[in-house]
Amino acid sequence: MPTFVLAGYNAFVSQLTAMKEISGVIGVLFLFAIGVSVCLAVYKGIDNSGWIPHHEETTVLIKGVWLVGEFKDCQMQERGDGHLLDCSFLQGDPHDLAAKYWGRLDREMAGKSWAWRCQRMEASITCRAVN
- Per residue in 77-88, pLDDT (tens digit) is 877 777 889 998
Shared-domain flag, residues 28 and 60: no
Percent of the chain with pLDDT over 90: 39
Q: First vs last Cα of the chain: how many Å apart?
A: 79
Shared-domain flag, residues 37 and 69: no
Shared-domain flag, residues 59 and 87: yes
Phi, psi of 17 (to 5 degrees): -65, -45
**Greatest CA separation found in the chain?**
99
Q: How much is the mean pLDDT over the chain?
A: 83
Residue 1: pLDDT above 60? Answer: no
Q: Give the domain-ending residue among 48, 70, 85.
A: 48
Shared-domain flag, residues 67 and 102: yes
Which domain, by its residues, includes 90?
53-129
Contacts of 95 (CB under 8 A, 6+ apart): 59, 60, 61, 62
pTM of the model: 0.69
Shared-domain flag, residues 39 and 97: no
CA distance 118 to 92: 16
Say which residue, 26 or 127, is predicted with more confidence: 127
Shared-domain flag, residues 111 and 59: yes
Give the SS3 label for residue 9: helix
Say which residue, 109 or 88, is predicted with more confidence: 88
- Tally of domains within the chain: 2
Shared-domain flag, residues 123 and 66: yes
Shared-domain flag, residues 82 and 105: yes
Shared-domain flag, residues 41 and 84: no
Shared-domain flag, residues 1 and 61: no
Shared-domain flag, residues 2 and 25: yes
Residue 120: pLDDT above 90? Answer: yes
pLDDT bucket at 62, cuts 50 / 70 / 90: very high
Residue 74, phi-psi category: left (phi > 0), alpha (psi -120 to 50), beta (remainder): beta
Shared-domain flag, residues 27 and 63: no
